[in-house]
Amino acid sequence: MKQGIIIAALAAIVILGFSFSKTPQKITKERLGEMLFFDPILSEDSSISCASCHKPQFAFADTSIFSKGVHGLLGNRNTPSAMNMSARGAFFWDGRAATLEEQALGPIENPVEMNLPIAEAVKRLNRSKKYRHLFFSIFKSVPNKQNLAQAIAAYERTLETSATPNDRWLNDEANGMTEQQVRGRDIFRVKAKCFECHFTPDFTADEFRSIGLFNGSTHNDSGRYLVTKNIADIGKMKVPGLRNVAITAPYMHDGSFKTLRDVIDYYDNPHAKMPDGINRDTVLRQPLGLTEQDKQDLEAFLHALTDDKFLKKK
Ligand code: HEC
Ligand code: HEC
């Protein structure tokens, strides 16, 4: 009897000890999505991952005008930040995807990005012991199109940033904005009319507007029109959010503005740079008449939208 208890106890200790040493860190959907986001396995020649273009140190955007996909191929749109996506209602510059799940499969199949048919991507994941095991422990299923998209989207929803001077200022916390940034915020809201399109909390309501960067020749990305085929949508793009914008240069769908100052100079007088821009929004009809001081204040405010984690590095 006693012996039986001792044996049972020993067995329990052995089993417990064994299972502790073997139990890996608990894997979640988000963690699996993170592994996939950084894994080139999802590209044709296993050379490109999501993170090749959405670089973590630049708020998951890219510093080149157009990012390189497989075989060094270039797309024709600037890589936007993949952060602060959880509240978005439309994805891509033209809004052609309605959910992050739908969005996530796009770049894998895009010929100038990862160029891998989804069926092939799913096959590869099924051939990998590691991924088969991980998908099974989370989804109780082998990898498929749906759970692949779900995992990546779940990871992207964790990429929210709110440790910024502007957020602290709004919450009356310490280390908020400087006086200059507060002045810049007022210019952003009133004189420069930025707030008409870029409103809080993420500085976008996912509307499609045109700031006039389309003329049918040198600037020929017709944006939202490609999705709706409605003439009124020619040149309209999804209003981008502005969190971390100070570290995501170059700017606009075509990466044509190098600096925030270039962006501000454009808005001050769009006609000067794009006299033949078609369909420019009525909000941007008249020059803003910003002074040098206004421009500097406005730029300082845009820097107040950068999350602390990007400043502490280096
Ligand atoms: C070769 C570079 C490249 C790769 C690889 C890439 N992307 Fe992108 N990503 C872009 C570009 C360029 C756009 C904008 C495309 C457009 O609007 O048509 C974009 C758009 C997005 C958006 C939409 C952002 C918004 O504001 O609407 C998300 C989210 C995103 N990518 C996530 C991913 C994920 C997830 C992967 C991997 C499965 C990935 N990307 C792979 C370049 C890339
Ligand atoms: C009429 C709506 C509208 C107004 C007003 C407006 N924006 Fe924009 N903003 C947009 C749209 C749409 C884009 C994308 C345009 C494109 O790529 O063609 C954009 C792009 C930007 C970008 C580039 C972001 C990126 O990731 O590339 C910045 C920065 C920006 N706006 C700041 C401002 C500032 C500062 C003001 C005020 C001076 C302002 N915007 C006023 C609609 C607007």
Residue 290's pLDDT is what? 98
Distance CA 186, CA 164 (A): 17
95 Cβ below 6 A of ligand 1: no
pLDDT band at 86 (very low <50, low <70, confident <90, very high): very high
Q: Which ligand is nearest to the CA of 248?
A: 2
239 C-alpha to ligand 2 centroid (Å): 6
CA-CA-CA-CA dihedral for 45, 51, 54, 59, to nearest 10: -170
Residue 200's pLDDT is what? 81
Q: What residue owns the CA closest to ligand 2's atom 34?
A: 194
Distance CA 230, CA 222 (A): 11
Both tokens of 133, joined, read 């095991």
Pocket test for ligand 2, best of 214, 225, 267, 283 (most atoms within 8 A of CB): 267
The neighbour count for residue 111, using CB atoms within 10 Å, is 13
Distance CA 58, CA 313 (A): 11
- The number of the ligand 2 atom at minimal distance from the alpha carbon of 221 is 18
Distances (CA, A) of 52 to 62, 71, 91, 116, 247: 8, 13, 19, 15, 16
Q: In 3D, which of 163, 236, 67, 264 has the Cα closest to residue 82?
A: 67
- Write the CB contacts of 11 (distance below 8 Å, at least 6 apart in sequence): none
The rounded mean pLDDT for the chain is 92
34 Cβ below 6 A of ligand 1: no
For residues 53-65, average pLDDT: 97
Residue 9's pLDDT is what? 53
Residue 291's pLDDT is what? 98
Distances (CA, A) of 140 to 129, 143, 155: 15, 9, 19
Pocket test for ligand 2, best of 234, 252, 302 (most atoms within 8 A of CB): 252
Residue 105's pLDDT is what? 96
155 Cβ below 6 A of ligand 1: no
149 C-alpha to ligand 1 centroid (Å): 13
Distances (CA, A) of 134 to 22, 131, 144, 173: 15, 5, 12, 41
> Is residue 97 pLDDT above 80, yes or no?
yes
Both tokens of 72, joined, read 């060094």
Q: What residue owns the CA closest to ligand 1's atom 37?
A: 50
Q: Are 298 and 187 in contact (CB under 8 A)?
A: yes
Q: Which ligand is nearest to the CA of 297?
A: 2
105 C-alpha to ligand 1 centroid (Å): 10
Pocket test for ligand 1, best of 103, 120, 243 (most atoms within 8 A of CB): 103
> Is residue 3 pLDDT above 90, yes or no?
no
Q: Are 304 and 314 in contact (CB under 8 A)?
A: no
Distance CA 10, CA 121 (A): 46
Q: In 3D, which of 301, 9, 27 has the Cα closest to residue 165?
A: 301
Owner of token pair 């020749």: 217
C-alpha distance across the termini of the chain, in Å: 65
- Write the CB contacts of 63 (distance below 8 Å, at least 6 apart in sequence): 55, 249, 250
pLDDT tens for residues 282-301? 999 999 999 999 999 999 99
Distances (CA, A) of 127 to 32, 40, 114, 121, 123: 16, 15, 19, 10, 6
Both tokens of 99, joined, read 């959910």
52 Cβ below 6 A of ligand 1: yes
Q: Which ligand is nearest to the CA of 209?
A: 2
Distance CA 244, CA 305 (A): 5
